Amino acid sequence: MNTVAKAAFWMIGAISSFTLMAVAGRTVSTELDTFEIMLFRSLTGIAIVVSVGIATGTISQIGRNRLGLHATRNLFHFTGQNLWFYAITVIPLAQVFALEFTTPIWVILLSPLILREQVTAIGLLSALIGFIGILIVARPDPANLSWGLMAAASCAVFFALTAIYTRKLTQTETITTILFYLTTMQAVFGLICAGYDGDIALPSLTALPWVVLIGCAGLLAHFCLTKALSIAPASIVMPIDFVRLPTIAIVGMVLYNEPLEVWVFVGAALIFGANYLNITNAMRPAKA
Protein backbone atom coordinates (compact mmCIF):
# COMPACT_ATOMS: atom_id res chain seq x y z
CA MET A 1 0.00 0.00 0.00
CA ASN A 2 1.52 3.34 -1.05
CA THR A 3 1.68 6.50 1.07
CA VAL A 4 -1.42 8.15 -0.40
CA ALA A 5 -3.49 4.98 0.05
CA LYS A 6 -2.38 4.65 3.67
CA ALA A 7 -3.23 8.29 4.40
CA ALA A 8 -6.60 7.87 2.68
CA PHE A 9 -7.34 4.81 4.82
CA TRP A 10 -6.77 6.77 8.04
CA MET A 11 -8.72 9.76 6.70
CA ILE A 12 -11.72 7.52 6.02
CA GLY A 13 -11.58 6.70 9.73
CA ALA A 14 -11.38 10.40 10.64
CA ILE A 15 -14.24 11.40 8.32
CA SER A 16 -16.43 8.54 9.58
CA SER A 17 -15.68 9.47 13.21
CA PHE A 18 -16.44 13.18 12.75
CA THR A 19 -19.70 12.29 10.99
CA LEU A 20 -20.74 9.81 13.69
CA MET A 21 -19.97 12.39 16.39
CA ALA A 22 -22.24 14.94 14.69
CA VAL A 23 -25.11 12.45 14.36
CA ALA A 24 -24.67 11.23 17.96
CA GLY A 25 -24.46 14.80 19.26
CA ARG A 26 -27.68 15.80 17.54
CA THR A 27 -29.40 12.63 18.79
CA VAL A 28 -28.61 13.17 22.50
CA SER A 29 -29.29 16.92 22.35
CA THR A 30 -32.99 16.21 22.92
CA GLU A 31 -32.29 15.22 26.54
CA LEU A 32 -28.81 16.62 27.36
CA ASP A 33 -27.51 20.17 27.02
CA THR A 34 -24.06 20.86 25.56
CA PHE A 35 -22.38 21.04 29.00
CA GLU A 36 -23.80 17.66 29.97
CA ILE A 37 -22.71 16.18 26.63
CA MET A 38 -19.18 17.49 27.23
CA LEU A 39 -19.17 16.12 30.80
CA PHE A 40 -20.13 12.58 29.79
CA ARG A 41 -17.95 12.71 26.68
CA SER A 42 -14.96 13.64 28.84
CA LEU A 43 -15.67 10.88 31.38
CA THR A 44 -15.71 8.39 28.51
CA GLY A 45 -12.47 9.91 27.24
CA ILE A 46 -10.77 9.56 30.63
CA ALA A 47 -11.57 5.85 30.72
CA ILE A 48 -10.18 5.38 27.20
CA VAL A 49 -7.01 7.45 27.71
CA VAL A 50 -6.16 5.82 31.05
CA SER A 51 -6.84 2.31 29.70
CA VAL A 52 -4.71 2.87 26.60
CA GLY A 53 -2.01 4.57 28.68
CA ILE A 54 -1.80 1.58 31.01
CA ALA A 55 -1.86 -0.92 28.13
CA THR A 56 0.92 0.88 26.23
CA GLY A 57 3.00 1.78 29.27
CA THR A 58 2.73 5.54 28.62
CA ILE A 59 0.66 6.36 31.72
CA SER A 60 3.88 7.13 33.63
CA GLN A 61 4.57 10.01 31.23
CA ILE A 62 1.81 12.08 32.83
CA GLY A 63 3.31 14.80 34.99
CA ARG A 64 2.26 18.15 36.40
CA ASN A 65 4.33 20.39 34.15
CA ARG A 66 2.73 23.33 32.36
CA LEU A 67 -0.67 22.88 34.03
CA GLY A 68 -1.52 26.51 33.31
CA LEU A 69 -0.93 26.01 29.60
CA HIS A 70 -2.97 22.80 29.66
CA ALA A 71 -5.82 24.65 31.37
CA THR A 72 -5.75 27.49 28.82
CA ARG A 73 -5.69 25.10 25.89
CA ASN A 74 -8.50 22.96 27.27
CA LEU A 75 -10.69 25.93 28.17
CA PHE A 76 -10.50 27.09 24.55
CA HIS A 77 -11.31 23.58 23.31
CA PHE A 78 -14.17 23.20 25.79
CA THR A 79 -15.68 26.48 24.61
CA GLY A 80 -15.27 25.63 20.93
CA GLN A 81 -16.69 22.14 21.35
CA ASN A 82 -19.75 23.44 23.23
CA LEU A 83 -20.40 25.94 20.43
CA TRP A 84 -20.01 23.12 17.88
CA PHE A 85 -22.47 20.84 19.69
CA TYR A 86 -24.96 23.72 19.87
CA ALA A 87 -24.52 24.60 16.19
CA ILE A 88 -25.14 21.05 14.91
CA THR A 89 -28.57 21.08 16.55
CA VAL A 90 -29.87 24.33 15.05
CA ILE A 91 -28.39 24.74 11.55
CA PRO A 92 -27.68 22.29 8.69
CA LEU A 93 -24.70 20.03 9.36
CA ALA A 94 -23.05 21.04 6.06
CA GLN A 95 -22.96 24.68 7.18
CA VAL A 96 -21.33 23.73 10.48
CA PHE A 97 -18.63 21.65 8.79
CA ALA A 98 -18.00 24.30 6.11
CA LEU A 99 -17.44 27.02 8.72
CA GLU A 100 -15.31 24.65 10.81
CA PHE A 101 -12.91 24.44 7.85
CA THR A 102 -11.95 28.07 8.57
CA THR A 103 -9.93 26.93 11.61
CA PRO A 104 -6.58 27.01 9.69
CA ILE A 105 -7.37 30.55 8.51
CA TRP A 106 -7.72 31.70 12.11
CA VAL A 107 -4.48 29.92 12.99
CA ILE A 108 -2.75 32.07 10.36
CA LEU A 109 -4.18 35.26 11.84
CA LEU A 110 -3.75 34.40 15.54
CA SER A 111 -0.31 32.73 15.48
CA PRO A 112 1.60 36.05 15.20
CA LEU A 113 -0.14 37.31 18.35
CA ILE A 114 0.48 34.18 20.42
CA LEU A 115 3.50 32.41 18.91
CA ARG A 116 5.17 35.52 17.46
CA GLU A 117 5.21 33.86 14.06
CA GLN A 118 5.49 36.00 10.95
CA VAL A 119 2.52 36.39 8.62
CA THR A 120 3.41 36.00 4.95
CA ALA A 121 1.74 37.74 2.04
CA ILE A 122 0.36 34.35 0.93
CA GLY A 123 -0.98 33.85 4.45
CA LEU A 124 -2.84 37.14 4.32
CA LEU A 125 -4.18 36.34 0.85
CA SER A 126 -5.35 32.95 2.12
CA ALA A 127 -7.12 34.61 5.05
CA LEU A 128 -8.86 37.06 2.70
CA ILE A 129 -10.05 34.29 0.36
CA GLY A 130 -11.19 32.26 3.37
CA PHE A 131 -13.12 35.22 4.75
CA ILE A 132 -14.93 35.61 1.43
CA GLY A 133 -15.80 31.93 1.68
CA ILE A 134 -17.21 32.51 5.18
CA LEU A 135 -19.44 35.30 3.87
CA ILE A 136 -20.75 33.06 1.08
CA VAL A 137 -21.52 30.18 3.48
CA ALA A 138 -23.09 32.36 6.18
CA ARG A 139 -24.66 35.02 3.91
CA PRO A 140 -24.96 37.37 6.91
CA ASP A 141 -28.12 39.38 6.47
CA PRO A 142 -30.99 39.82 8.93
CA ALA A 143 -32.92 37.03 7.18
CA ASN A 144 -30.14 34.42 7.44
CA LEU A 145 -28.01 35.41 10.44
CA SER A 146 -28.70 33.22 13.47
CA TRP A 147 -27.17 32.15 16.76
CA GLY A 148 -26.37 28.81 15.16
CA LEU A 149 -24.33 30.40 12.36
CA MET A 150 -22.49 32.62 14.84
CA ALA A 151 -21.76 29.60 17.05
CA ALA A 152 -20.40 27.59 14.09
CA ALA A 153 -18.21 30.49 12.98
CA SER A 154 -17.00 31.15 16.54
CA CYS A 155 -16.14 27.51 17.26
CA ALA A 156 -13.55 27.67 14.46
CA VAL A 157 -11.80 30.53 16.27
CA PHE A 158 -11.63 28.54 19.51
CA PHE A 159 -10.45 25.42 17.66
CA ALA A 160 -7.69 27.56 16.12
CA LEU A 161 -6.64 28.76 19.59
CA THR A 162 -6.68 25.12 20.70
CA ALA A 163 -4.40 24.16 17.80
CA ILE A 164 -1.97 26.98 18.58
CA TYR A 165 -1.69 26.05 22.25
CA THR A 166 -1.45 22.37 21.34
CA ARG A 167 1.55 23.27 19.18
CA LYS A 168 3.15 24.90 22.22
CA LEU A 169 2.41 21.89 24.42
CA THR A 170 3.82 19.34 21.98
CA GLN A 171 7.23 20.96 22.38
CA THR A 172 7.53 19.40 25.85
CA GLU A 173 4.47 17.19 26.50
CA THR A 174 3.59 13.72 25.20
CA ILE A 175 0.33 12.83 23.44
CA THR A 176 -0.80 10.77 26.46
CA THR A 177 -0.24 13.74 28.78
CA ILE A 178 -2.09 16.15 26.48
CA LEU A 179 -5.06 13.79 26.08
CA PHE A 180 -5.18 13.00 29.81
CA TYR A 181 -5.43 16.66 30.79
CA LEU A 182 -7.79 17.34 27.88
CA THR A 183 -10.30 14.80 29.17
CA THR A 184 -9.88 15.39 32.93
CA MET A 185 -9.94 19.18 32.80
CA GLN A 186 -12.90 19.23 30.43
CA ALA A 187 -14.73 16.83 32.73
CA VAL A 188 -14.26 19.37 35.53
CA PHE A 189 -15.36 22.25 33.27
CA GLY A 190 -18.40 20.22 32.22
CA LEU A 191 -19.28 19.34 35.80
CA ILE A 192 -19.11 22.99 36.87
CA CYS A 193 -21.11 24.33 33.92
CA ALA A 194 -23.69 21.53 33.88
CA GLY A 195 -24.13 21.54 37.66
CA TYR A 196 -24.17 25.25 38.43
CA ASP A 197 -27.97 25.08 38.77
CA GLY A 198 -27.84 21.88 40.85
CA ASP A 199 -29.47 19.82 38.12
CA ILE A 200 -27.38 17.46 35.97
CA ALA A 201 -29.42 15.21 33.71
CA LEU A 202 -28.13 11.65 33.41
CA PRO A 203 -28.30 10.01 29.98
CA SER A 204 -31.12 7.53 29.60
CA LEU A 205 -30.45 3.93 28.60
CA THR A 206 -31.36 4.96 25.05
CA ALA A 207 -28.97 7.92 25.01
CA LEU A 208 -26.08 6.24 26.85
CA PRO A 209 -24.67 4.37 23.80
CA TRP A 210 -24.74 7.61 21.83
CA VAL A 211 -22.87 9.43 24.61
CA VAL A 212 -20.21 6.72 24.65
CA LEU A 213 -20.03 6.94 20.85
CA ILE A 214 -19.37 10.70 21.09
CA GLY A 215 -16.46 10.09 23.45
CA CYS A 216 -14.97 7.30 21.34
CA ALA A 217 -15.53 9.04 18.00
CA GLY A 218 -13.98 12.30 19.19
CA LEU A 219 -10.72 10.64 20.26
CA LEU A 220 -10.65 8.30 17.25
CA ALA A 221 -11.18 11.15 14.78
CA HIS A 222 -8.18 13.10 16.04
CA PHE A 223 -6.06 9.95 16.28
CA CYS A 224 -6.83 9.03 12.65
CA LEU A 225 -6.17 12.59 11.47
CA THR A 226 -2.85 12.70 13.33
CA LYS A 227 -1.91 9.29 11.93
CA ALA A 228 -2.70 10.40 8.38
CA LEU A 229 -0.57 13.53 8.78
CA SER A 230 2.30 11.41 10.09
CA ILE A 231 2.18 9.31 6.90
CA ALA A 232 1.60 11.97 4.23
CA PRO A 233 2.04 15.75 4.00
CA ALA A 234 -0.86 18.11 4.67
CA SER A 235 -1.06 18.91 0.93
CA ILE A 236 -2.24 15.32 0.38
CA VAL A 237 -4.26 14.81 3.57
CA MET A 238 -6.23 18.05 3.37
CA PRO A 239 -7.99 17.37 0.03
CA ILE A 240 -9.08 14.02 1.45
CA ASP A 241 -10.37 15.74 4.60
CA PHE A 242 -12.53 17.98 2.40
CA VAL A 243 -14.64 14.88 1.61
CA ARG A 244 -16.13 15.49 5.06
CA LEU A 245 -18.34 18.22 3.60
CA PRO A 246 -20.24 16.25 0.92
CA THR A 247 -20.36 13.29 3.32
CA ILE A 248 -22.07 15.26 6.08
CA ALA A 249 -24.29 17.05 3.53
CA ILE A 250 -25.60 13.69 2.28
CA VAL A 251 -26.06 12.47 5.87
CA GLY A 252 -27.99 15.65 6.69
CA MET A 253 -30.19 15.23 3.64
CA VAL A 254 -30.93 11.53 4.28
CA LEU A 255 -31.41 11.63 8.06
CA TYR A 256 -32.74 15.15 8.66
CA ASN A 257 -34.16 16.23 5.28
CA GLU A 258 -31.68 19.12 5.09
CA PRO A 259 -31.39 20.77 1.64
CA LEU A 260 -28.15 20.60 -0.35
CA GLU A 261 -27.38 24.31 -0.75
CA VAL A 262 -25.01 25.11 -3.59
CA TRP A 263 -23.70 28.26 -1.89
CA VAL A 264 -22.44 26.22 1.06
CA PHE A 265 -20.31 24.19 -1.34
CA VAL A 266 -19.13 27.30 -3.23
CA GLY A 267 -18.07 29.02 -0.01
CA ALA A 268 -16.48 25.85 1.33
CA ALA A 269 -14.51 25.45 -1.92
CA LEU A 270 -13.06 28.94 -1.43
CA ILE A 271 -12.19 28.13 2.18
CA PHE A 272 -10.54 24.90 1.06
CA GLY A 273 -8.63 26.73 -1.69
CA ALA A 274 -7.38 29.30 0.82
CA ASN A 275 -6.13 26.61 3.18
CA TYR A 276 -4.53 24.62 0.36
CA LEU A 277 -2.77 27.71 -0.99
CA ASN A 278 -1.25 28.43 2.40
CA ILE A 279 -0.18 24.80 2.98
CA THR A 280 1.47 24.37 -0.42
CA ASN A 281 3.26 27.70 -0.04
CA ALA A 282 4.57 26.70 3.42
CA MET A 283 5.90 23.42 2.01
CA ARG A 284 8.01 25.08 -0.69
CA PRO A 285 11.72 25.08 0.04
CA ALA A 286 13.07 28.46 1.11
CA LYS A 287 15.09 30.30 -1.49
CA ALA A 288 18.81 30.46 -0.87
Query: DSSP readout, 29-60?
Result: TTTS-HHHHHHHHHHHHHHHHHHHHHHHT-GG
- Domain of 181? 3-282
Mean pLDDT of 163-183: 88
Closest CA to 193 of 43, 78, 85: 78
Mean pLDDT of 65-77: 94
Contact, 216 vs 6, CB < 8 A?
no
Residues 6+ apart with CB under 8 A from 20: 213, 217
Please report whether residue 231 resides in a domain: yes
Mean pLDDT of 196-208: 90
Q: In this predicted structure, what is the pLDDT of residue 155? A: 95
Please report whether residue 8 resides in a domain: yes
pLDDT above 70: residue 285: no
Cα angle 107, 158, 73 (rounded to 5 degrees) comes to 90
Residue 141's pLDDT band (boundaries 50, 70, 90)? low
User: Considering the chain, what is the average pLDDT of its residues?
Assistant: 88
* Distance separating alpha carbons of residues 163 and 56, to the nearest angstrom: 25
Q: Cβ–Cβ contacts within 10 Å for residue 282, how many?
A: 14
Please report whether residue 288 resides in a domain: no
Amino acid at position 74, single letter: N
* Least confident interval from 22-26, 194-198, 223-227, 230-234: 230-234
Residue 286's pLDDT band (boundaries 50, 70, 90)? low
Domain count, the chain: 1
Please report whether residue 149 resides in a domain: yes
Angstrom distances, CA of residue 212 to CA of 46, 209, 284: 12, 5, 42
Q: Is the pTM of this model over 0.85?
A: yes
pLDDT above 60: residue 288: no
Query: Whats the size of the chain, residue-wise?
Result: 288
Q: In this predicted structure, what is the pLDDT of residue 44? A: 94
Q: In this predicted structure, what is the pLDDT of residue 113? A: 82
